[in-house]
Amino acid sequence: MHKRIAEIKKNEGPPKVIKNIFNNQEIENFLKLYRELPITVHNKKQNVIKKRWLQDFGKEMQKLFYERVSSIIGDFKMDNLKDEKGEDIYGLFQESYNPIGLHIDGGFNFEDQIYKQTLIPLTPVGSTVIFKNRYYGKSTNFTIDQKELEKKDLKYGQNIRSKDHIGMFGEKAFDKEIHRKFLSHEKIDNLVGLEVELIYNWEVGSLLTFDRSSLHCSSSVIDGKKIGLTTFTKR
């Protein structure tokens, strides 16, 4: 578990959605940047393409991005994956064709004081589910799939697999109607004890920010594909 949980908790709060923080031209600039970036990972099993926002790309957008995000969450440091030179990247673009499962993005260093993460939707159809439940371990995919749990040979930046959440938040069955409408890609038994805090319906031009300790996942609402930019921060 993280060693600075007391400090982490002091900065926690409910998720926030800031509407119309980016205009149409700025969103188009993000999409142009995405098209120019090299592919970092193409996970064919999950059907997701990931691209790191490298410092050599989109320099005109970097200042704008930092100013807009810091105006919402205050001072922060980047805590994204590094590039081959060991330099910080500005975020991670993800082009997803399937919903991403239950997880947290707690980072990989227990010495860090994790802070907020942000999501900028670059396409209009999609939604993200944030749960009230929190976990203070490393970046983790939560699953009851035994084959997933047996995966140990993980590459740099890959989440560990765990079922530690089962029983941690009680034994209350998950809401069947929410499961049917938004989380049909998840086994309902994997959501035992969880309570939804926010279902964020994507709006181009808006920004979502929430605590990195919050369990969350994509919803099953998707129209072909969706593209978003995620950034992880620390203090």
Contact criterion met (CB below 8 Å) for 2 and 112? yes
Reported as a single tens digit per residue, the pLDDT across 153-208 is 887 678 999 999 999 999 999 999 999 999 999 999 999 999 999 999 999 999 99
- Return the half-sphere exposure (C-beta side, CA atoms, 13 A cut-off) of residue 36: 13
- Predicted local distance difference test score (pLDDT) of residue 83: 78
Token duo for residue 226: 């969706």
- Predicted local distance difference test score (pLDDT) of residue 88: 82
Per-residue buried b or exposed e for 145-165, using 16+ beta carbons within 10 Å of the residue's own CB: eeeeeeeeeeeeeebbbbeeb
Reported as a single tens digit per residue, the pLDDT across 40-90 is 887 766 678 999 999 889 988 999 999 999 999 999 999 987 778 888 888
- Predicted local distance difference test score (pLDDT) of residue 45: 63
Phi, psi of 34, deg, nearest 5: -60, -45
The pTM (predicted TM-score) of the whole model is: 0.92
Q: Which residues contact 14 (CB under 8 A, 6 or more apart)?
A: 197, 198, 210
> Distance between CA atoms of 64 and 84, rounded to whole angstroms?
25
Domain residue spans in the chain? 5-234
- CATH classification (class only), 5-234: mainly beta
- Predicted local distance difference test score (pLDDT) of residue 161: 95
Reported as a single tens digit per residue, the pLDDT across 137-151 is 999 999 999 999 998
Q: Is 228 helix (H, G, I), strand (E, B) or coil?
A: strand
The conformation of residue 154, written as its DSSP 8-state character, comes to: P
CA distances to 50, 96, 139 from 145, rounded to whole Å, are: 24, 21, 17
Please, where are the H alpha helices in 37-158?
59-73, 146-149
Q: Is the pLDDT of residue 121 over 90?
A: yes
> Distance between CA atoms of 211 and 76, rounded to whole angstroms?
13
Reported as a single tens digit per residue, the pLDDT across 87-105 is 888 899 999 999 999 999 9
- Predicted local distance difference test score (pLDDT) of residue 46: 66
Please, where are the H alpha helices in the chain?
5-10, 24-36, 59-73, 146-149, 176-182
Q: Where are the beta strands (DSSP E) in 53-194?
A: 77-78, 92-96, 103-104, 114-121, 127-134, 140-142, 160-162
- Predicted local distance difference test score (pLDDT) of residue 48: 86
- Predicted local distance difference test score (pLDDT) of residue 199: 98
Secondary structure element (H or E) that encloses residue 43, with its range: strand 41-43
